Structure 1
Amino acid sequence: MSTITSRSTNPVDYQNLPQPIVVMAKSFSDGFSIPPHQHERVQLLYAINGVMRLRTKRDAWVVPPDGAAYIPAGISHSVSMHGAVDMRTLYIDPLAIRTRPQKLSVMTVPGLLKELILALGEEPVAYGPDSRGSLIAKLIEQEIDRAQALSLHVPLPRDIRLQKVCAELLADPSDRRTLDGWSAVCGASARTLARLFERDLGMSFIQWRQRVRFQSALESLSQGVPVSVVAKLHGYRSPSAFTAAFGKAMGQAPSKVVAQTES
């Protein structure tokens, strides 16, 4: 096993350490993208500032303020930054997180877990088994197990006809075209497209488009764009309609996202 004493910014240096949980600190500029990759360890991707978007072959995820991505070992994923991102990544021995489901998810980061992540980042990388760092790591393990999952993923289609529709909506979430309008784009009838959304993605076209809009809206809100502007940019005719729909789907009002960004 390798041992490092300084805090490297190379993920490779954290994969084979004897410590069950270690922290890597790294900062990224707005728009920076990390191409598809995977790790030997479980990864908990948390940003003190900024918003991250993850992509796998089958899903897209947004990681909001006070959220983190739980990424099982061996899962290929890419990451893009929205706003300047001050990242803290936990690399976790899979045996240290025995009760958490082995699937990618976005989870809440309560205040205690945030402080524990920051505290472990101040400890030596090669902390001993009876050290303060070891105690913090054990608390982190318990807090990860208690964290709540957030429904912030957008499934991606296998069907090539749906891929055309979904790619354009991901590029422009405010697009108001109905399934009848999209049928001309992909060469399938509106009825066929509706059936493909349910079969391939497990939800209706309207539900899928709403998730895409809320992911994009979350990024805009976290960058300080006013709610009234975000509502218009994402296809809502009024801020009140957007606020109600956003709160129902995301579990928090847009104003809370803004407050988290400003804190």
Structure 2
Amino acid sequence: MDNIVHLNELASLPRPLYGQRDSLPNIALDYRHLHAWGQLSHALHGVLLVHTDNARLVVPPHRAVWIPPGSMHRVESTPDACIRSLYIDAAQSPWPGQECRVIAVDPLLRELIRAFGELPVEYDLEAADGRLAQVLLDRLCLAEQLDLVLPQPRDPRLRALCRQATARPWADIRLGEASRKAGVSEKTFSRLFLKETGMTFRTWRQRMRLVSALPALERGERVTDVALACGYESLSAFSAAFARLFGLSPGELARGGSMTQA
């Protein structure tokens, strides 16, 4: 389409807040890249996985991910994902610093994003459209931040171990085995892993398993089969852990991501 904007060809955004629905491809870019402006990608349905140098961010339906200006990243999505993206000038960033984050998208914020996508690219900053853009930025500042980040350690020994664990989420890797693979004592491994990721190896492994379950659930695979493939022996334990982390049950995600909470 002739009206599709190639962001890498822009020297600057046409407006401080840009997100015209019909002028953007709104697809996941599965290669490493960065922008001079911030990016907010909202999953209307489907699941997004954002990979940065030190984390994976999980974006279930009705959530959004914030990627600050200058942050190297790549994005994966499930095949039926529907994405709406906003691009925000660095001077208008809703949050300070270089931290990527996942936020909750409540009904008002969702409708603001939808309405903003209908505006012309060069909307009038001084008229009603400009005020709508400002309300949208204000609501982003108030959005709840969700703990849906899977940190990746920088230490090469731990990073290799985490790659192995992610490739085999069903494997029951205990602390002793993990520390032997890393070539350090259990005490040193525990201290180093906590320092590098902010969580214990056990907590990290549970979160990794739940993240690994998302694509299979989106494909419509049976919840029981997915739970077993991710190392859970009990369907009830898998469902409870999944709901605690993502705010919706595995079945709700498979049915399109209806949230159990706003």
TM-score w.r.t. the length of structure 2 is 0.86
Counterpart in 2 of 1:47?
Answer: 43
Residues 154-193 of structure 1, C-alpha deviation per residue, up to 9 Å, x if partnerless?
1111222111210111222222121333345343344432
CA contact under 8 A between 1:47 and 1:87: conserved in structure 2?
yes
Counterpart in 1 of 2:148?
Answer: 152
Q: Compute the displacement of 1:108 (Å).
A: 1.0
Residues 116-167 of structure 1, C-alpha deviation per residue, up to 9 Å, x if partnerless?
2222222211111234432321221122112111111111112221112101
Q: Does 1:213 align with 2:209?
A: yes
- Counterpart Cα distance in 1 of 2:243 and 2:184: 34
Q: Which runs of 5+ in 1 are unaligned?
A: 1-5
| Equivalent residue for 2:122, pick from 126, 130, 146 | 126
| Equivalent residue for 1:162, pick from 138, 158, 176 | 158
Q: CA RMSD in A?
A: 2.4
Change in CA separation of 1:14 and 1:91 when aligned onto 2, cut-off 3 Å: farther
How many residue pairs get aligned? The number is 254
Map 1:175-214; keep pairs closer than 5 Å: 175-214=171-210
- Counterpart Cα distance in 2 of 1:54 and 1:141: 22
Counterpart in 2 of 1:174?
Answer: 170
**AA paired with 1:113?**
L
Identity in percent: 35
TM-score w.r.t. the length of structure 1 is 0.86
- Counterpart Cα distance in 2 of 1:190 and 1:93: 46
**AA paired with 2:193?**
F
More strand by share: 1
Q: Which runs of 5+ in 2 are unaligned?
A: none
Secondary structure at 2:103's aligned position in 1?
Answer: strand
Map 1:21-36; keep pairs closer than 5 Å: 21-23=17-19, 25-28=24-27, 33-36=29-32
Q: Compute the displacement of 1:202 (Å).
A: 2.0
